[in-house]
Copies of this chain bind each other. A is one copy, B any other.
């Protein structure tokens, strides 16, 4: 059983069906009937006017969002372990034409308002220093922690008062909402978020995330994002297959059910892992203390996962699992505990 990554998982059947259903002639690019429904579907989900674009990957969605929020000479406050910092080979620098990522520390890959304010204060307001223009957070974070609405809002307040754009990398946004049980709106625009990379692929899609813009500048930013999308080779000629997947994900609530399943599987594993946990488990990722020989034992039992430095491992659950299906690993972890 694989716990490598939610990327390693197959497509969920409803999305394969949606692809098949979209398999008919229509206009190219985003001129098709499916793409045309995105704004409406996301506006319904978020209870406000949303401008939505399909974008192939999370890296591209993040980078295009940042390019709309930050000029080339600006900076983006973010966590030092954020995906945009450590796992995108400099994509934000490419799309923003050289804007500066301003990495900050923080437990569980979460930014705190204090840390952000302190960094903002340290920037001299002269032409020699890079001025901050945006804040970017990941929810759920790279360590599987979830920002609650009030935590997001605290950062959103800072963003607003300093005239900064506010971006959320939501590669696992669904897992965050599933954990919180809140309205998507509460975690985003009501908390000051301007742009959201809404993840689908880790949650059961084949290809295609959604980039969402909220608020008064949504239309202008989306228009700009459409230029970036084309200019970066991301305007697929058969965009309807991406739009169809995204619609299948959100129109009937599949996005949330899939995330709930993955989260439940993670909770089951967390029970088994006990005090091995390096971080609280809130979404679908677990980071556990695990000696090399313990890891070998688990692998010998057919459980695959990545090491996370020395003496630790990362376990990622996914939409196709639930508490029952991961019970064998939970038991194996618990058995190690007493070994």
A residues neighboring B (CB under 8 Å): 2, 4-5, 7-11, 16, 19-20, 23-29, 55-64, 71-73, 75, 86-91, 93-101, 127-130, 201-202, 206-207, 224, 226-238, 241-242
Q: Are the CB atoms of A8 and B27 closer together than 8 Å? A: yes
Q: What CA separation (Å) do A227 and B100 show in the bound complex?
A: 14
Highest count of chain B CB atoms <10 Å: which of A9, A26, A90? A90
Residues of the B chain whose Cβ atoms lie less than 8 Å from the Cβ of A55 = 233
Interface CB pairs A-B, < 8 A, 15: A7-B29, A57-B237, A60-B232, A60-B234, A71-B224, A72-B93, A72-B94, A73-B231, A89-B230, A89-B231, A90-B130, A91-B230, A91-B232, A93-B99, A94-B97
Residues of the B chain whose Cβ atoms lie less than 8 Å from the Cβ of A202 = 237
Identify 18 new A-B residue pairs, CB closer than 8 A, beyond the known A16-B23, A56-B56, A56-B234: A8-B25, A11-B23, A56-B236, A60-B232, A60-B233, A72-B90, A73-B228, A88-B231, A89-B128, A90-B99, A90-B100, A93-B98, A93-B99, A94-B98, A94-B232, A95-B233, A97-B98, A207-B207
Residues of the B chain whose Cβ atoms lie less than 8 Å from the Cβ of A232 = 60, 91, 94-95, 232-233
Residues of the B chain whose Cβ atoms lie less than 8 Å from the Cβ of A95 = 232-233
Residues of the B chain whose Cβ atoms lie less than 8 Å from the Cβ of A87 = 128-129
Q: What CA separation (Å) do A47 and B73 show in the bound complex?
A: 32
Nearest chain B residue, comparing its CB with the CB of A237: B7
Q: Are the CB atoms of A89 and B130 closer together than 8 Å? A: yes
How many copies are assembled? 4
Highest count of chain B CB atoms <10 Å: which of A29, A71, A99, A237? A237
Residues of the B chain whose Cβ atoms lie less than 8 Å from the Cβ of A61 = 233
* Partner pick for A72 among B8, B97, B99, CB 8 A cutoff: B97
Q: Are the CB atoms of B230 and A128 closer together than 8 Å? A: yes
Q: Are the CB atoms of A73 and B89 closer together than 8 Å? A: yes
Q: Tell me, rounded to whole Å, the shortest Cβ–Cβ distance linking A223 to chain B.
A: 9
Q: Tell me, rounded to whole Å, the shortest Cβ–Cβ distance linking A98 to chain B.
A: 3
5 shortest interchain CB distances as A-B pairs: A60-B233, A93-B98, A7-B28, A7-B237, A59-B233
Residues of the B chain whose Cβ atoms lie less than 8 Å from the Cβ of A235 = 57, 59, 127-128
Q: What CA separation (Å) do A238 and B245 show in the bound complex?
A: 14
Residues of the B chain whose Cβ atoms lie less than 8 Å from the Cβ of A28 = 4-5, 7-8
Q: What CA separation (Å) do A97 and B67 show in the bound complex?
A: 12
Q: Tell me, rounded to whole Å, the shortest Cβ–Cβ distance linking A88 to chain B.
A: 7
Q: What CA separation (Å) do A233 and B20 show in the bound complex?
A: 26
